[in-house]
Amino acid sequence: MVTVAMERKGRLPVSQQQVTHRLVTVVPCLPATLRDSEVPHFFRERHVLTGYRPLHQDWRYYLLSLFRRHNETVNVWTHLLGALLVLVWFRELAEVVDFAGDAHSWPLLILLLSSFCYMSFSTVAHLLAPRSELTHYALFFLDYVGVALYQYGSAAVHFHYAVPDDWPHWLLGPFMPVAALLCCFSCFGCCFGKYCSHSSPSSIRKLGQVLPSALAYAWDTSPVFWRLWGCLPSCEQDPAALFHAGQVGFFLASALFFTLLLPERWLAGRCDFLGQGHQLFHTLLVLCTLCQLQASHLDYRGRRMLYLRLHGDGEPAFLVCLFVAVALVCTSVAIGMTSKVAGRK
């Protein structure tokens, strides 16, 4: 017994070495992060001075950086967790909503799908984009496709469920086609602004992103604005009004942080890991989406007589077809802009 025990004890260091070797193989030593001066200018974010990941590493490095401290860690996790919450929402709604049998539930399904897309595409972009210049642009173009799809999903539920009874009827016909055009314009503006950031100031990119997106948001959310204005001062009688007000408030706050780059504008270098305006933008946008999902579900259940009267039986199918068209156009824009990036190298 003593001999056996000694033999086992003698083999322990070998086992520990094997375990250590396996751990090093699975989780390699990751390169250190860099300062802004050590990466190309189009990778840099204004007022963020450290925490940049090096280029041209193995894909595994960027995947494992999900669990490492750098200046994109919080951006990745905010939308990753948000996407998981949307999946939870879908699972819960699928138990009480007949998405297959009730065509008027399809706008809600479009919102769920588009919400998951924009958060997932954003997660992938912030996680993997630093690998190379082409990867950086291609993934953020994909991110902008997700944003455009979410804009369309918002327009679909606002038009189908949230539109008030006194909404001008002459707007019913052109509302969704105009919304679709604005989504495509927003995607093009974001992609073109990003493309120009290679040789132009970052303000050009912001201009290309903010103006088309603001125009799309104003149009897509106009039924909600009209409804909230009309229900004052007794909005508490409308069960969805509080959540609609919440989604508007969270979105406007997120746009403020996104546009003004607060608080890192005042605290350059101190918000590199936590506290960036873009991180607050992500968080507030997730809260906006969750409020929007709740409001849309309440409207779907509680305003059925109204939207059945305003929208024909063929309207949901038209919204789905238009959603597919927007997805195809925006994907084509992203592919075209990616080819332009590849062609200038």
Q: Which residues does residue 52 pair with via DSSP β-bridges, in sequence order? A: 34
Domain contains 128: yes
Confidence at residue 292, expressed as pLDDT on a 0 to 100 scale: 99
- What pLDDT tens digit does each residue of the chain (345 aa) get? 444 444 444 444 545 556 445 544 545 567 899 999 999 988 899 999 999 999 999 999 999 999 999 999 999 999 999 999 999 999 999 999 999 999 999 999 999 999 999 999 999 999 999 999 999 999 999 999 999 999 999 999 999 999 998 899 899 999 999 999 999 999 999 999 899 876 666 666 677 788 999 999 999 999 999 999 988 777 788 899 999 999 999 999 999 999 999 999 999 999 999 999 999 999 999 999 999 999 999 999 999 999 999 998 899 999 999 999 999 999 999 999 999 999 886
Output DSSP code: residue 79. H
- Domain count for the chain: 1
Quote the distance between the C-alpha of residue 338 and its chain's center. 20
User: Could you tell me the sign of the dihedral formed by the alpha carbons of 198, 203, 209, 215, in that order?
Assistant: negative
Burial of 275 (C-beta count, 10 Å sphere; 0-12/13-18/19+) = middle
Name the token pair of 180: 């679709």
Domain contains 46: yes
Confidence at residue 30, expressed as pLDDT on a 0 to 100 scale: 74
Confidence at residue 237, expressed as pLDDT on a 0 to 100 scale: 82
Domain contains 3: no
Instruction: Check whether the bond before 40 is cis (ω within 30° of 0).
Output: no
Confidence at residue 344, expressed as pLDDT on a 0 to 100 scale: 80
Confidence at residue 16, expressed as pLDDT on a 0 to 100 scale: 52
**Which residues are documented as binding site for Zn(2+)?**
126, 278, 282
What is the chain's length?
345
Domain contains 5: no
Crossing angle between the packed helical segments 241-260 and 222-231, to the nearest 10 degrees = 130
User: Residue 52: what are its φ and ψ, rounded to 5°?
Assistant: -85, 135
pLDDT, tens digit, 9 for 90 and up, residues 291-313:
999 999 999 999 999 999 999 88
Kindly list the distances between the CA atom of residue 305 and the CA atoms of 152, 166, 279, 301, 310, in Å, as whole numbers in the listed order.
24, 15, 40, 10, 9
Domain contains 24: no
Domain contains 234: yes
Whole-number Å distance between alpha carbons of 48 and 206: 16
Kindly list the distances between the CA atom of residue 35 and the CA atoms of 44, 264, 272, in Å, as whole numbers in the listed order.
9, 16, 10
**Which residues are documented as binding site?**
126, 278, 282
Whole-number Å distance between alpha carbons of 125 and 325: 23
Name the token pair of 194: 């990003």
Domain contains 101: yes
Name the token pair of 184: 């495509």
- The domain in which residue 100 lies consists of 35-343
Q: Tell me the whole-structure pTM to 2 decimals.
A: 0.91
Domain contains 2: no
Among 271, 295, 270, residue whose Cα is nearest residue 281: 271
Crossing angle between the packed helical segments 315-343 and 172-196, to the nearest 10 degrees = 10
Confidence at residue 17, expressed as pLDDT on a 0 to 100 scale: 54
Confidence at residue 8, expressed as pLDDT on a 0 to 100 scale: 46
Residue 137: how many other CB atoms lie within 10 Å: 23
Domain at 167, CATH number:
1.20.1070
Quote the distance between the C-alpha of residue 281 and its chain's center. 10
